[in-house]
Chains A and B, each alone.
Chain A
Amino acid sequence: DTEVTQTPKHLVMGMTNKKSLKCEQHMGHRAMYWYKQKAKKPPELMFVYSYEKLSINESVPSRFSPECPNSSLLNLHLHALQPEDSALYLCASSQGATRGTDTQYFGPGTRLTVL
């Protein structure tokens, strides 16, 4: 099973709402990632978790709050977002984060619209 699942597929939220994105993998991977992708642009890395600890934070605003409850789950908590945060949010996982050779497996993404 090489599947990364993400829920929900679509999310519309107001600027005062609090919501969460969820990501799950059952491949035994120990590294998980959040990316943000704007239309017609490449994915931009937001966070990396390695062995359930935050190892990379790409200077993401605090209105995005990641959480890794266990090795299979990754959440992204959203609060007080701005319209420019509307994008496709992709989750990925890999065997590890300390080898450059590992393939990242991507989920289908959550399409987020902030009104």
Chain B
Amino acid sequence: AQSVTQLDSQVPVFEEAPVELRCNYSSSVSVYLFWYVQYPNQGLQLLLKYLSGSTLVESINGFEAEFNKSQTSFHLRKPSVHISDTAEYFCAVSVSEGGGSNYKLTFGKGTLLTVNP
């Protein structure tokens, strides 16, 4: 079964520092990968996704992620974080249910990014 592993449960950083949140997935024929962010007391919002094509995908708020097939990774990076980036970040993979035509998201356990002043 497809799965994702987020290697860090918590990542504390200082404001304006770079950050990398790590995600590894189990390999499969077709891989659709997502990063979602959840701010406190809110639902999840899509940050970015990899479907095919260019292995570097970017979000509108400065995050980027690179799909690396050889390392089965999809790490999320930002060169300079803000206090407002403090949130829970979930990596997810889209898998077909029992190899059929219905897809569902399987989430990693999440990484809590805390940006300190």
Contact = CB atoms under 8 A, between A and B. Distances in A.
Contacts of B96: 100
Interface stretch (A11-19, A61-69, A106-114): A106-114
B102 interface: yes
Contact of B107 (A42, A56, A97, A105): A42
What is the interface of chain A mostly: helix, strand, loop, or mixed?
A: loop
Contacts of B108: 42
A106 B32 contact: no
Contacts of A41: 109-110
Interface in B21-80: 30, 32, 34, 36, 42-46, 49, 51
Given A42-B109, A100-B95, A101-B32, A106 B43 contact: yes
A107 B45 CA distance: 9
Interface of B: 30, 32, 34, 36, 42-46, 49, 51, 90, 94-97, 101-105, 107-110, 112
